[in-house]
Amino acid sequence: MTATSASDTHVAARASDVWKVYGSGEAQVIALRGVTADFERGRFTAIMGPSGSGKSTLMHCLAGLDAVTRGQVFIGGTQVTGLGDAGLTKLRRDKVGFIFQQFNLLPTLTAQENILLPLSIAGRKADQAWFDTVIETVGLRDRLGHRPSQLSGGQQQRVACARALVARPEVIFADEPTGNLDSRSGAEVLGFLKRSVREYGQTIVMVTHDPVAASYADRVVFLADGQIVSELLDPTPEAVLDTMKRLDVLTVGVAE
Amino acid sequence: MLRATLKSLLARKLRLVLSGLAVVLGVMFVSGAFVLTDTLGRSFDAVFSSAYSQTDVGVAAKPKIEMSEMEGEEVQAPFPASVLDEVRSVPGVAKATGTVAADGAQVIGSNGKVLTSFGPPQIGQAWTGEDGLTELREGRGPTADNEIAVNVTVADAAKIKVGDQVRVQTLEPAKPFTLVGIFGYSGGRDSLGGVQEVAFTEKAAQQLLVGETGVYTGITVKADSGVSHTKLRDEIATKLGTGYEVKTGQQLSDEASDSLKEGLAFFNNILLGFAGVALFVGIFLILNTFSIIVAQRTRELALMRAVGASRGQMIGSVLVEAIVIGLLASVLGLGAGVGVGALLAYAFGSLGGGLQMASVGIPLAAVISAFVVGLFVTVIAAVLPALRASRIPPVAAMQDVATPDRPLTKITVAGAVVGAIGGALLGLGLSGNAGDSTLWTILAGVLVTFIGVALLTPLISKPVVALLGRLFSWSVPGKLGRLNSGRNPRRTAITAAALMVGIALVTGVTVILDSAKSSFTSLAENTIDAELVISGTQTGPRPPSFDPAVLDQAAKLPGVQETAGIYWDRAVINGENDGVTAISDVAALTDIYHAKATAGTISSLGDDQMLVDADTAKDKGLSVGQSLTVQTTRGDAKTYTLSGIYEASELYGGFVLPVAAAKDFAVPKPTQAYLKLAPGTTVAQVQPQVEALLANSPEVSVADRATFIDQQTSSLDGVLQMIQILLALAILIAVLGIVNTLALSVLERTRELGLLRAIGLRRAQTMRMVTVEAVVISMFGAILGVVVGSGLGASVVRALKDQGIDDLVLPWAQMGLFVGVAAIVGVVAAVLPAIRAARLDVLRAIAHE
């Protein structure tokens, strides 16, 4: 397995028969049931599914934030499963970027310092040209000296996007990045994510329940009941919504 | 509402324990003080009622000099033996026994050292045979003048047994005696409250303890059965007339016990001082904890408001938490206090040479004070946070909680005003214009100044913390830690202020003591023109002394140019209580102290002449040629003519009597002596010879001037040690405060920590970040403490200029040490919160609300 994934240079992240089980006995909940998926380099993939389908769990497992019960996860050439805390920290530092629903900026740092934080933690210098490109892309040039409390929600999330982009990670994982934004700010943020994939070849994996957000992706993977049940390439909002409706019926059917 | 409050209280056990601990400590010291004094008090009661159990009525002559507890011990005046016959002739007297007893019979142990006592007197007395109280354990009572009996305590401490030759020093230098008996007391007791007793024959006792034969110092009267003690007392008093004190045994026992209990107040005050520091610092801690809790629960509290809770209920809910903590802390503190009190009482008893302890009791005062103090402190500290909780608008429940940085204007103005009041109080106290309440005014000034500085701290913290943080900013975790310590100036400030109090106290005292030391040293070097000094360390109520013959022998040693032995006593001079000295060679006043005459002559002194310093002369309106009546401790009053007035130095002043008068001093032996060597003679040549002369005076030793100055100033080190214990306590509590603040901050920033870990901060880096925050806070507190303490110390030193403290010495090394210790304290305090921060589960931390 390791050999194959290492050679598959077009794959940025891979889940291979991933199971995730919470609790035991009566209280046992199976969040993921043998998920296998490849996330290609330079593509924008959305993971969708109803509440409780396991989409966030899958993302957390892919990002090394959560341990899997069975199966393997790879980021680039690195096997994530089996890494200790130090290894996971290094992985997050060097290969993974995050965008969270609640922005998660450090209130004590300015926008610029927040953006450069992952690099300074790793003790790396920012590539000035790339930094300027990122700042231009997210349009924060005149806000760099502000602290998070002086920025709007949309601006804060753009800072978070820039923070993820500036380190040029193997994959950026975005967890409902537009969940806390109004539709206009949301559209702006999704616009940058799409541009960073198109123009700079960034790999992004985004979890969302919003069909409009999902339609910005190149590919949508649908999860229900811990399994991948469907997939759409070059989705439109309507196609996504249709698939979701079918899944709802399916899920309700399973539950009954 | 109450249930909700109690539930939220239970949910935060640990941090409430941390903040409550300071109150527990404070209450512990308060109730410990009460338990200690109560237990010791009852023990002393038992001792004295037993000591006077054989006395129905006691007769003594009025002391020649009446003194307060502060001035020293009164010495019973002797009266002629004929008084005994007068007492015996009073109807109703069954038996009257003349007694001779005085403090100051010191046995020299088998190791050649004088038996010392830390408190209980060393009584020498005439043997009056066994009675219901005194019981011979071994041998017999003394029958010849060179025989003694001692009580078991003395025999044990001096390691002597019947048949030994034992040296005893009294008014006279040490003399050998044969130990013929060892006695104890009824009930199998070895001593009465640790008192050391040596019994001589009546004649020997009179000679050695009073200095004249045919006299008694007291009469013990047994009444005929059926005769009222008070009535008999009044009849004896009428018979003897004025000049005698006649009291019942009950009265004597009560008075003795009361005067000892007054002495206990000293221990009480030390414990209460500890309690005060603990509680004062504890207030900061509780205030901070409640503030943070209220800030963290803003949403929850706003929700309660939104669903209809009134402002009063909000205040109530916080105060109820405070009351519960206060109650718990009081109960725990009381329990610990009983333990500490009992322990100290036990230690006191065994140190004092076997005081029989009464059972440990819990006086009502201890219980009441424990609860009053515990509740008062906690509730006071919780009032501000409670008010803040009540001001949270219901709409805050709906908003994302962003507690804006409130402006520091108000708190700064308040701090400036409070600080100014504190400064003014200090100034008033130090200027000496506050009269009797000087000490209290100074204490209040220090306290109010601390509060003022604490209020100003948030403002000061901004630049100082930023500057301090630069030390650590070279790494990313360091920089994050620095920013964290600066993000909530109020919280940082209060946490640091708690540390400030302890460090300021100890710095202030160190400044004062070091300045005093340095001033004394330079003064002594400049004013004492003698190469060798004979002196000893005073441990009991009587100063160490030595055989006056040593002075004459030393004067005859080759190389010794001049000797001056100093005698000291209290006296009544023209009706006023004062101290007097006598110098074996009055010329020394000029030669060794370089005193200058301002009137009359001071280089010689006739047997009926005396000297006084210029300041005292001015105060009392004395001039050369005037006659003064002087009554020393023993002997009769005598009239002297003032023959000279000299300019006083800080080291020598007051009335000077001719050396002939010293025979009537309480200690008719020199307590100090200065030896001036002839030019060309070295200390090393003379010192061993003087040491040989002092072989029979084990209480004192001879030292060169530098060593002597060291010995004199070393007594200050004891004070410093006491203060350092206080510091340790205050630091301990401040550490709790830092731990508390950090733990709460870590909790508050769970999501941030999760994020930092998610983007690649290692565990070790996380710990470093938290540690830097702690170190910055604690170093800030220490620097603040050092600065405030130096300021307080310097102002006291300035105020003491008149007392001869004119060197201001700042203990730089110690101050550096304090800041260094504070940095270590910060690291220690950060351990638990840092581990907690590092162990956070990344995923859960990010999802944390």
- Rounded Cα–Cα distance for residues A67 and B844 (Å): 13
Whether A40 and chain B come into contact, CB under 8 Å, resolves to no
DSSP string, B104-165: --EEEPTTSPBP--SSS-EEEEE-----SSEEEEEE----STTEEEEEHHHHHHHT--TT-E
Q: What is the residue range of B144's domain?
A: 56-248
Taking all residues of chain A, what is their mean pLDDT, rounded to a whole number?
A: 85
Claim to verify: residue B34 and residue B78 sit in the same structural domain:
no
Claim to verify: residue B17 and residue B116 sit in the same structural domain:
no
Strands A11-22 and A29-40: antiparallel
Claim to verify: residue B680 and residue B561 sit in the same structural domain:
yes
B476/chain A closest Cα distance in angstroms: 6
Claim to verify: residue B8 and residue B66 sit in the same structural domain:
no
Whether B842 and chain A come into contact, CB under 8 Å, resolves to yes
Quick one: CA dihedral B336, B337, B339, B344, positive or negative?
positive
Q: What is the pLDDT of residue A255?
A: 42
ipTM at complex level:
0.73
Residues of A in contact with B752 (CB under 8 A): 104, 106-107
Chain-chain contact of B763 with A89 (C-beta, under 8 angstroms): yes
The CA-based angle B524-B527-B528, given to 5 degrees, is 75
Q: What is the pLDDT of residue A6?
A: 41
Whether A94 and chain B come into contact, CB under 8 Å, resolves to yes
Q: What is the pLDDT of residue A8?
A: 57
A81-108 pLDDT tens trace: 888 878 888 888 888 888 888 777 888 7
Chain-chain contact of A107 with B759 (C-beta, under 8 angstroms): no
Q: What is the pLDDT of residue B6?
A: 66
Where residue A164 sits, what CATH number does that domain have?
3.40.50.300
- Rounded Cα–Cα distance for residues A6 and A2 (Å): 6
Any alpha helices (H) in chain A, and if so which ranges?
A: 2-7, 55-62, 85-95, 111-122, 128-138, 153-166, 183-200, 211-214, 237-255
Claim to verify: residue B233 and residue B91 sit in the same structural domain:
yes
Contact by Cβ (8 Å): B845, B750: yes
Claim to verify: residue B218 and residue B293 sit in the same structural domain:
no
Q: What is the pLDDT of residue A253?
A: 47
Chain-chain contact of B760 with A121 (C-beta, under 8 angstroms): yes
Claim to verify: residue B164 and residue B85 sit in the same structural domain:
yes
In chain B, what are the helix, strand and coil shares in percent, each to the nearest 5? 60, 15, 25
| Beta-ladder partners of B189 | B185
Claim to verify: residue B235 and residue B264 sit in the same structural domain:
no
Given the structure tokens 């999760």, which residue do they identify? Answer: B754
Q: What is the pLDDT of residue B142?
A: 93
B595-647 pLDDT tens trace: 888 888 888 888 899 999 888 888 888 889 999 999 888 888 899 999 999 88
For residue A189, give the nearest of A101, A62, A127 by alpha carbon. A101
Claim to verify: residue B736 and residue B836 sit in the same structural domain:
yes
Q: What is the pLDDT of residue A5?
A: 43
Q: What is the residue range of A46's domain?
A: 2-255
Claim to verify: residue B621 and residue B516 sit in the same structural domain:
no
| Domain C-terminal end among B232, B248, B264 | B248
Whether A1 and chain B come into contact, CB under 8 Å, resolves to no
Residues of A in contact with B843 (CB under 8 A): 60, 65-66
A124/chain B closest Cα distance in angstroms: 11
Chain-chain contact of A118 with B760 (C-beta, under 8 angstroms): yes
Mean of the pLDDT values across residues A54-80? 88
- Give pLDDT < 50 ranges for chain B: 401-402
Query: If you measure CA to CA, which chain B residue comes closest to A122?
Result: B760
Nearest residue, CB atoms, B758 vs list A65, A90, A108: A65
| Burial track B92-103 (b if 16+ CB lie within 10 A, e otherwise) | bbeebbbbbbbb
Mean of the pLDDT values across residues A194-219? 91
| Burial track B262-286 (b if 16+ CB lie within 10 A, e otherwise) | eebeebbeebbbbbbbbbbbbbbbb
Whether B759 and chain A come into contact, CB under 8 Å, resolves to yes
Element (H, E) at B811: none
Chain-chain contact of A106 with B480 (C-beta, under 8 angstroms): yes
How many residue pairs bridge chain A and chain B with CB atoms within 8 Å of each other?
66
- Does B45 reside within a domain? yes
- Does B390 reside within a domain? yes
- Does B449 reside within a domain? no
Residues of A in contact with B402 (CB under 8 A): 149
Residues of B in contact with A107 (CB under 8 A): 487, 752
Contact by Cβ (8 Å): B796, B512: yes
A226/chain B closest Cα distance in angstroms: 19
B759/chain A closest Cα distance in angstroms: 6
| Beta-ladder partners of B103 | B123
Share of chain A above pLDDT 70, in %: 93
Claim to verify: residue B332 and residue B259 sit in the same structural domain:
yes
Whether B233 and chain A come into contact, CB under 8 Å, resolves to no
State how many domains chain B has. Answer: 4
Mean of the pLDDT values across residues A9-25? 86
State how many domains chain A has. Answer: 1
Residues of A in contact with B482 (CB under 8 A): none
DSSP string, A164-227: HHHT--SEEEEESTTTTS-HHHHHHHHHHHHHHHHHH---EEEE-S-HHHHTTSSEEEEEETTE
Whether A144 and chain B come into contact, CB under 8 Å, resolves to no
B266-322 pLDDT tens trace: 777 777 877 888 788 888 888 887 887 777 777 777 767 766 677 787 788 888 888
Whether A163 and chain B come into contact, CB under 8 Å, resolves to yes
